[in-house]
Amino acid sequence: MRALVLDGTLRFVSDYPDPKPGTGECLVGVRKAGICRTDIELTRGYMDFRGIPGHEFVGEVLAGPPNLQRRRVVGEINCPCGRCRMCRRGLGRHCPNRTVLGIQGRDGAFAEFLVLPEDNLHPVPDSIPDAVAVFTEPLAAALEIPEQVRIEPDSGIAVLGDGKLGILVAQVLNRTGARVTIWGHHREKMAPLEPLGVETRVAGEEPVVPSGEYDLAVEATGSWDGFALARDLVRPRGTIVLKSTLAAGSEINLSTVVVNELTVVGSRCGPFAPALRLLERGEVRTDFLVDAEFPFSQWERAFERANAPGAGKILIDMQGAG
């Protein structure tokens, strides 16, 4: 099959062996895949991944049980062992023996076909177009926040970062009734949130922020500077949620965390079922997040565009010729 293979560098391979589903697994034909920030980090050495990257996708089951056969699906990316202590606690997404689609020990979605366990697949309602369904995975990551942290409806929330994830997080948290402010560098990216009642602020342009204004800050900037700003924005006993995975460490002073008794919560993958419900009901908007779509043959242009500062979501049509 045709696939993008990461092996130090990312390259196109036309004769990669077709994947063979094992017991309880399905063969999925990939329809569309999205390029995530994590994919860019992988090409820079994050996780030391070798193989086919890609974990945001919508596809069609080509071989699987009758209830899934020919169904359009999205797929959870963590494949747990099902037997260890974490799995027995219902924390399969943290199984130490897990493989992760296109990230760890398992080929991913930048290919004609992929394989995932049947349990990972969620049928996509017909009313959700492919270009929306492909946002199920990042929307689930946004929904991980209320899964981990109780969101008080009368709280003030700062979302730092106007990338795709920040925009999804702002929409999810805005639905709770909380006062949500998003901070970013691109006024035009944040503008569609204003009619939804989200306050927008351009970082650097605003007057000095009163410190301790917010009960909760979500760091989704993808840089360590975001952590420092979050730490200054939240009130004592407030919470900072970290959504960025970064390869490199940084000089961070945690003494404010102690003195102000802050809670810092790392947050990663989330639940797919509520993400699909919100997308089906049209209650989270993704249309203005898509920057461009490329046919598979133009994958290099797609990655270049995704790598540009401030890029929106880049989709690849995996079946499209070109």
In the complex, which residues of this chain contact a copy of itself (CB under 8 A)? 86, 91, 94, 96, 144, 148, 212, 227, 235-237, 242-268
Is residue 214 within 8 A of residue 220, CB to CB? The reply is: no
Length of the chain: 322
State the Cα–Cα distance between residues 32 and 135, nearest whole angstrom.
11
For the CB of residue 243, give the shortest distance to a copy of itself in the complex, in Å: 7
State the Cα–Cα distance between residues 42 and 40, nearest whole angstrom.
5
Give me the residue label for tokens 């106007």: 162
State the Cα–Cα distance between residues 47 and 38, nearest whole angstrom.
10
Which CB, 185 or 235, lies closer to a copy of itself?
235
State the Cα–Cα distance between residues 151 and 178, nearest whole angstrom.
8
Residue 181 Cα distances to 10, 164, 185, 302, angstroms: 37, 15, 13, 31
For the CB of residue 264, give the shortest distance to a copy of itself in the complex, in Å: 4
Phi first, then psi: give them for residue 170, nearest 5 degrees.
Answer: -60, -40
For the CB of residue 219, give the shortest distance to a copy of itself in the complex, in Å: 9
Is residue 216 within 8 A of residue 157, CB to CB? The reply is: yes
State the Cα–Cα distance between residues 253 and 289, nearest whole angstrom.
34
Element (H, E) at 169: helix 164-174
For the CB of residue 164, give the shortest distance to a copy of itself in the complex, in Å: 17
Which CB, 64 or 161, lies closer to a copy of itself?
161
Which CB, 202 or 254, lies closer to a copy of itself?
254
β-bridge partners, 315: 34, 293
For the CB of residue 115, give the shortest distance to a copy of itself in the complex, in Å: 24
Residue 105 Cα distances to 38, 47, 52, 123, angstroms: 15, 10, 10, 24
Quote the Cα angle for 268-271-276, to 5°: 125
For the CB of residue 301, give the shortest distance to a copy of itself in the complex, in Å: 30
Which CB, 248 or 321, lies closer to a copy of itself?
248
Which CB, 35 or 95, lies closer to a copy of itself?
95
Which CB, 43 or 256, lies closer to a copy of itself?
256
Which CB, 104 or 297, lies closer to a copy of itself?
104
Which CB, 125 or 236, lies closer to a copy of itself?
236
Residue 200 Cα distances to 73, 188, 223, angstroms: 34, 10, 19
For the CB of residue 93, give the shortest distance to a copy of itself in the complex, in Å: 8
For the CB of residue 71, give the shortest distance to a copy of itself in the complex, in Å: 30
Which CB, 191 or 247, lies closer to a copy of itself?
247
- What's the number of CA atoms in the CB half-sphere (13 Å) around residue 185? 8
For the CB of residue 265, give the shortest distance to a copy of itself in the complex, in Å: 5
> For the chain, what is the largest distance between any 2 Cα atoms, rounded to a whole number of angstroms?
59
